[in-house]
Structure 1
Amino acid sequence: MGIGTLGWAAAGERLDLLAEPVARAVRELGPDAGAQVAEIDPALADTAAFCERYGVRLDESANCVIVAARRGGEVRYAACMVLATTRADVNGVVRRHLDARKISFAPQEDAVRLTGMEYGGITPLGLPEGWPVLVDEAVAAHPGVVIGSGVRHSKLALAGAALAGLKSAEVLRLAN
């Protein structure tokens, strides 16, 4: 894929660079998905610092936001994938799609505990069963996008179509 100045390797051959739930998901995807992984400085895992240091354009990077949707005392979680150049319309599109009365970004400690991933590395691969993954149309159409790997010391790259093809994925126009 060759995004930025990173030394990419087949993700299936470097499972040691992935959080355990992400490693399981990469094994399930198989080599045909073309997922690649690269080691990074964990201090530079946040999008802006990462892109600047490793020569990745913001429109080649996608962020995964975990939301908590509430209705009638029930809390449901979902992931939203948008390019780093956009923001998810959480209070409009996402709230309506999840049929929630209230929606908010999931508290950091809940997101980390429930996903088994590090904050700043949470990714749609390997999320708990039943969590919807809402993928923005621009991410789904992207030929190669950089996302989290479940840990702060690496990043994954794969085609947006692979994200759109996840069994819990739904492609929507999320960006506002």
Structure 2
Amino acid sequence: MMFHVQHGCVLGKLTTEPARDRADLLAPPVVEALATWSVDDVLVAPIDPDLADTAAFCAAYDVGMEESANCVVVAGKREGVTRYAACVILATTRADVNGVVRRMLDVRKASFAPMAEAVELTGMEYGGITPIGLPAEWPVLVDSRVAATARVIIGSGIRGSKIELPGAALADLPGAQIVEDLAKAAPAA
């Protein structure tokens, strides 16, 4: 799938530039993955790392929660072996961890991976984990609502920046699967 590269775009209060030109704003596994990924329309913008958490980020940078996606690492055990998956969901939703995700991992019980484990296994900062550059053996489960979003904001592997790209581009990630109803609407705050 080919996407038109946009340069110097502004979404909300973010000023983006091509991610491949700003390795300083990406975690090392993300830099490595972008070097071989066929999608060119990947932008990055610096942010205040103290505002990396989704709600604070969206409020500070005028980005809609429906344009912001989270990548969560889920784990479950089967026959003594831990199985991992990354779930990419819109900020307006919550991953169906013990329904859809558990069945897709083929485990009895699934839960969010502990923070230290997720950070160690991904080589990324907690609060900045992104589906780009994850371990090759992990499935990347992308909620269909994310894939249907024209431009989506995701983590960059660090807390000091965010990536912007077409939601549909996430289907081109290694191990990616678009999943209907991977997430459920989040309860109203």
1:44 to 43, 51, 57: 51
Q: Aligned pair 1:86/2:93, yes or no?
A: yes
Match of 2:142 among 124, 127, 135: 135
Deviations 1:109-151 (A, max 9, x none): 0000000000000000000111000000001111110000000
- One-letter amino acid of the counterpart of residue 90, structure 1: V
Asked whether 1:6 is paired with 2:14, we answer: yes
CA distance in 1, matches of 2:11, 2:67: 8
Give the TM-score of the pair, scaled to structure 1. Answer: 0.96
**Aligned equivalents of 2:10 and 2:50: distance in 1?**
22
Q: Any conservation in 2 of the 1:17–1:39 contact (CA below 8 Å)? A: yes
Contact 2:143 2:183 in 1 (8 A): yes
* SS state at 1:33 partner: coil
Aligned partner of 1:20 in structure 2 is 28
Per-residue CA deviation, residues 23-44 of structure 1 (Å, 9 max, x unaligned), is: 11112225x5300000000000
State the partner residue of 1:111.
118
> Structure 1: which 5+ runs fail to align?
none
CA distance in 1, matches of 2:63, 2:86: 23
Conserved 8 A contact 1:67-1:105: yes
Distance apart, 1:175 and its partner CA: 1.3
1:99 Cα deviation from its structure 2 partner: 0.6
Residue identity opposite 2:178 in structure 1? V
Letter paired with 1:69: G
Aligned-pair Cα RMSD in Å: 1.0
Asked whether 1:66 is paired with 2:73, we answer yes
Letter in 2 for 1:171: I
- In structure 1, give the amino acid aligned to 2:26: L
Which residue is equivalent to 1:166?
173
Supply the distance in 2 between the matched residues of 1:101 and 1:74 (Cα, whole angstroms): 12
How much has 1:2 moved relative to structure 2? 2.8
Q: What secondary structure does 1:87 align onto?
A: strand
Aligned length: 175
Q: Which moved more, 1:113-122 or 1:65-74?
A: 65-74
Q: Percent identity?
A: 61
- Unpaired segments of 5 or more residues in structure 2? 1-8, 185-189
Contact 2:136 2:174 in 1 (8 A): no
What is the Cα deviation at residue 72 of structure 1?
1.5
State yes or no: 1:29 paired with 2:37: yes
TM-score by length of 2: 0.90
Asked if 2 retains the 8 angstrom alpha-carbon contact of 1:33 and 1:158, the reply is: no
User: Separation in 1 of the partners of 2:105 and 2:167?
Assistant: 22
